[in-house]
Amino acid sequence: GPDTLIIDCGADFRLTEAADWQRFYGSDHAGSWPYGLPELPGGRDRLRGTTRVAVPGCYPTAALLALWPALAEGLIEPAVTVVAVSGTSGAGRAAKVDLLGSEVIGSARAYNIGGKHRHTPEIAQGLRGVTR
């Protein structure tokens, strides 16, 4: 029911802009829920009393918690490049030969670079309040 607390760990309700969702996920936007990152300014207030929470992605969480304070204090310029590394578990559940341990040990591979990673709009959305 409406009083049941739902904490969504998927990406479905993280983005506020339907155009961003369509561009990066290629399907209809389901809407947005309060963003579950209480460490950001105003974040705790947005979560207070809600029964729906959109849990941030791993890359956005790391990027936002690292960049927000530095941007807010003017310590860095707003044009940033995020370089992040994930293990093969970050590539999803599908079994793929190029993700087998025997194929990836001792190597790293870039993917979805140049603003194409699906977490890009989530990071940009989170930083809008500090870069305006």
- How many residues does this entry show for the chain? 132
126, 67 Cβ separation under 8 angstroms: no
Answer yes or no: 58 catalytic.
yes
Rounded Cα gap, residues 42 and 46, in angstroms: 6
Choosing from 6, 18, 19, 58, the catalytic residue is: 58
13: CB partners within 8 A, 6+ apart: 30, 31, 32, 33, 52, 54
Active site residues: 58
